[in-house]
């Protein structure tokens, strides 16, 4: 292993874990994949890792801890399930390994790279919320930076072909976790999340819709500018992240009040933002932007951690 890179482990040899591995191997000069961990010896992820010279184990967390170079690993990505993550986190913390959680378990704080990474840079477990959260919460936060957001609702529509067993098993956790993060990270007073699995053929690229209800005197020009700036920030690590059209505003006055959760019948402005997230196609198809944004965000967080660790050791990158 190169001393100029931080060794990492990927737990979960499914779509997300495999895409993350390919991204690191192709694009990162800060991280080195020291282990690919799965529980299915016949998985494509483990087979690809072996062909690429990455140490592998099909024995799950026990196999990872038993690897000869395990003590060198400093960061572990968990791309399994919310239930499994609780076990993995407890075992890894005993060894001082930083954990980046790509499940909806939310044992650690929610982290969106462009919103709040610096607040949690030293936290041992960082949760990447959900794919819908990574795509939409930056927008809610952008709106909340210039106007109070009384209520925010997001709808994440993904191709059913991009929803593997892990995603389907975590649907309830997805909605609960994302709804919490809309409030805790996005800054909305109330939040709601909806996920739609679209069976259309050919498969559709991930689409996200964000609705925010703000006061009637909110500065719509400032809101539009904040949203556009935030989209540009996210595009730095997710190139396929883009607005589908200009930010939309609908005004509600005394004669057409809206029934807003927590507020009742209210006047205000409904802000509507429509996004598309196209994947980079590293391992997953381009329509699977929902998975690509998760691995891209997790990689960004890990690289920031690695950069700080290398700087502390006097290694410049």
Q: For the chain, list the domains and their CATH numbers.
A: 6-128+293-312 (3.40.50.720), 131-286 (3.30.360.10)
212 is annotated as an active-site residue: no
Determine whether the annotation assigns residue 225 to a binding site: no
Q: What is the pLDDT of residue 260?
A: 95
CB 14 within 8 A of CB 39: no
d(CA 192, CA 128): 18
Q: Of the residues 21, 33, 131, 205, which is catalytic?
A: 131
Determine whether the annotation assigns residue 15 to a binding site: yes
Residues across the chain: 317
Q: What is the pLDDT of residue 2?
A: 47
Determine whether the annotation assigns residue 209 to a binding site: no
CB 223 within 8 A of CB 214: yes
SS (H, E, C) the chain: CCCCCEEEEEECCCHHHHHHHHHHHHHCCCEEEEEEECCCCCCHHHHHHHHCCCCEECCHHHHHHHCCCHHHCCEEEECCCHHHHHHHHHHHHCCCCEEEECCCCCCCCECCHHHHHHHHCCCCEEECCCHHHHHHHHHHHHHHCCCCCCEEEEEEEEEHHHCCHHHHHCHHHHHHHHHHHHHHCCCCCCEEEEEEEECCCCCCCEEEEEEEEECCCCCHHHHHHHHHHHHHHHHCCCCCEEECCCCEEEEECCCCCEEECCCEEECEEEEEEEEEECCCCCCCCCCCHHHHHHHHHHHHHHHHHHHHHHHHCCCCC
Q: How far is CA 226 from CA 87, 136, 247, 291, in A?
A: 40, 14, 10, 25
Q: What is the pLDDT of residue 18?
A: 96
Determine whether the annotation assigns residue 198 to a binding site: no
CB 190 within 8 A of CB 262: yes
Q: What is the pLDDT of residue 174?
A: 85
Lookup: tokens for 140:
């809610």
Determine whether the annotation assigns residue 314 to a binding site: no
Determine whether the annotation assigns residue 167 to a binding site: yes
Lookup: tokens for 122:
């030293």
Q: What is the pLDDT of residue 192?
A: 97
Determine whether the annotation assigns residue 169 to a binding site: yes
Per-residue pLDDT of the chain (317 residues; tens, 9 = 90+): 445 899 999 999 999 999 999 999 999 999 999 999 999 999 999 999 999 999 999 999 999 999 999 999 999 999 998 889 999 999 999 999 999 999 988 899 999 999 999 999 999 999 999 999 999 999 999 999 999 999 999 999 999 998 877 678 778 888 999 999 999 999 999 999 999 999 999 999 999 999 999 999 999 999 999 999 999 999 999 999 999 999 999 999 999 999 999 999 999 999 999 999 999 999 999 999 999 999 999 999 999 999 999 999 888 76
Determine whether the annotation assigns residue 16 to a binding site: yes
Q: What is the pLDDT of residue 317?
A: 62
148 phi/psi in degrees, rounded to 5 = -60, 135
Determine whether the annotation assigns residue 103 to a binding site: no
């Amino acid at each position: 292993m190169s001393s100029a890179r931080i060794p990492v482990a990927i737990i979960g040899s499914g779509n997300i874990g495999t895409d993350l591995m390919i991204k690191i191997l192709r694009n990162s000069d800060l991280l080195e994949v020291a282990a690919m961990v799965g529980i299915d010896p016949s998985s494509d992820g483990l087979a690809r890792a072996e062909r690429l010279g990455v140490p592998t184990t099909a024995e799950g967390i026990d196999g990872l801890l038993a690897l000869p170079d395990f003590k060198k690993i400093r960061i572990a990505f968990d791309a399994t399930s919310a239930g499994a993550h609780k076990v993995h986190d407890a075992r890894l913390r005993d060894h001082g390994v930083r954990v980046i959680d790509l499940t909806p378990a939310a044992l650690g704080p929610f982290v969106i790279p462009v919103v709040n990474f610096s607040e949690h840079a030293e936290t041992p477990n960082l949760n990447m919320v959900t794919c819908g959260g990574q795509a939409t919460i930056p927008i809610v936060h952008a709106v909340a930076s210039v106007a109070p957001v009384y209520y925010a609702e997001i709808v994440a529509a993904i191709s059913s072909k991009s929803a593997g067993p892990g995603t389907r098993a975590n649907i309830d956790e997805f909605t609960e976790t994302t709804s919490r993060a809309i409030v805790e990270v996005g800054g909305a007073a109330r939040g709601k999340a909806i996920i739609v699995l679209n069976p259309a053929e050919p498969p559709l690229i991930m689409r996200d819709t964000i609705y925010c209800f703000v006061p009637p005197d909110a500065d719509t020009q400032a809101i539009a500018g904040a949203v556009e700036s935030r989209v540009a920030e996210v595009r730095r690590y997710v190139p396929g992240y883009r607005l589908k059209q200009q930010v939309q505003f609908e005004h509600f006055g005394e004669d057409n009040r809206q029934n807003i959760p927590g507020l009742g019948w209210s006047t205000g402005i409904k802000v509507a933002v429509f996004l598309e997230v196209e994947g980079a196609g590293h391992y997953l198809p381009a329509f699977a932007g929902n998975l690509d944004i998760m691995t891209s965000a997790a990689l960004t967080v890990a690289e920031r951690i690695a950069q700080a660790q290398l700087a502390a050791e006097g290694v410049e990158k």
